[in-house]
């Protein structure tokens, strides 16, 4: 071999060695079981890929622009939302339709083989009618009540022709105007308790715990008969001396004996409904406030023909006897007593 050829061969050997060193200097992150390493051209291409700040998408291979993945996500979320909304709407309409069909169709016989639904059963108990306690009836009053259930009590004034049963018809206040106790026709009629008056079923001795409490004022109407029957002698109370000698009015309810002392005697009349600036004694039955009591008390005391010396306060009970009088058209003589027993 000539010297020139030897030098040329050594030079080629040197180049081949240098190339192999550069090849083994590449640091590839491949698995240990990788059988082959990449070629230098592939290594250069991979190095260039890693050094770029953003990935390069080969649009010629995917056929999609760079913004395709976000658009896919948005479309996917929108599809889920629309699907959920449609499912909810369909379910709601389905339930409404079933309810309407069930309401329109009569109840079908149930299959005993089907399991019973686990539902809560609400049983409505019938309302029981509340009954207020009441004191036992006085035996003599019970006898009259058993003959006529409109009987409400007995009124008596000593030394006066007032000793009668008192009737109260809740369906027709004028029923006993010309009927007697037995409901037979009688021009004298009966003494009539106003339908708005509440006599009560208890006794004051027990503070009405044994029954209901009476209203503040009981009103009893009666005819002014010329022969003195019914309330024909009630106008004697125009005389103060007579009043002083007959101050006690006795009224016995079905459950207790009561006594009243005459507090006022006055003349009045039945006013027109349109008259609102007058005292209508026949409209007063209950005083729940001091103002209501004062309105009643002040009027009857101011209108009284004389001072009886009897005073009253809120919480007292009263009885009012009303009879026709002839000082004015539709005139009335009124006697008011305050309960003392």
pLDDT, tens digit (0-9, with 9 covering 90-100), for 153-163: 999 999 999 99
pLDDT, tens digit (0-9, with 9 covering 90-100), for 50-98: 444 444 444 444 444 555 566 666 666 666 767 666 555 555 555 555 6
Whole-number Å distance between alpha carbons of 11 and 251 = 153
pLDDT at 135: 85
CB contact set of 311 (below 8 Å; sequence gap of 6+): 263
Whole-number Å distance between alpha carbons of 104 and 97 = 11
Whole-number Å distance between alpha carbons of 10 and 17 = 11
CB 285, CB 217: distance < 8 Å: yes
Element (H or E) spanning 9, and its range? Answer: helix 3-24
- Which domains are delineated in the chain? 139-339 (2.40.260.10)
Q: What pTM does this model have?
A: 0.63
Binning pLDDT at 50, 70 and 90, where does residue 116 land?
A: low
């Amino acid at each position: 071999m000539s010297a020139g050829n030897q030098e040329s061969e050594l030079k080629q050997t040197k180049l081949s060695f240098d190339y192999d060193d550069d090849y083994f200097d590449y640091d590839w992150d491949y698995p240990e079981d990788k059988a082959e390493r990449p070629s230098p051209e592939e290594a250069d291409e991979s190095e260039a890929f890693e050094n770029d700040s953003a990935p390069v998408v080969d649009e010629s291979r995917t056929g999609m622009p760079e913004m395709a993945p976000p658009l896919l996500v948005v479309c996917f979320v929108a599809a889920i939302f629309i699907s959920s909304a449609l499912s909810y709407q369909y379910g709601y309409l389905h339930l409404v339709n079933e309810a309407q069909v069930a309401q329109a169709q009569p109840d079908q016989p149930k299959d005993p083989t089907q399991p019973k639904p686990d539902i809560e059963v609400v049983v409505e108990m019938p309302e029981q009618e509340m009954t207020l306690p009441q004191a036992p009836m006085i035996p003599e009053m019970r006898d009259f009540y058993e003959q006529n259930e409109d009987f409400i009590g007995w009124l008596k004034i000593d030394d006066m022709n007032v000793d009668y049963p008192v009737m109260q018809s809740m369906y027709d206040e004028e029923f006993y105007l010309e009927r007697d106790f037995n409901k037979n026709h009688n021009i004298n009629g009966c003494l009539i308790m106003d339908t708005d008056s509440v006599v009560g079923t208890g006794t004051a001795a027990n503070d009405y715990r044994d029954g209901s409490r009476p209203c503040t004022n009981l009103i009893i109407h009666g005819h002014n008969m010329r022969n003195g029957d019914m309330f024909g002698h009630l106008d004697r109370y125009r005389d103060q001396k007579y009043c002083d000698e007959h101050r006690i009015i006795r009224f016995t309810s079905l459950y207790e004996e009561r006594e009243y002392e005459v507090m006022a005697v006055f003349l009045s009349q039945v006013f027109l409904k349109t008259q609102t600036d007058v005292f209508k004694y026949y409209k007063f039955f209950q005083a729940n406030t001091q103002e209501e009591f004062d309105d009643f008390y002040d009027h009857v005391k101011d209108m009284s023909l004389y001072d009886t010396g009897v005073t009253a306060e809120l919480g007292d009970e009263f009885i009012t006897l009303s009879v026709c009088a002839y000082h004015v058209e539709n005139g009335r003589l009124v006697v008011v007593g305050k309960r003392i027993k």
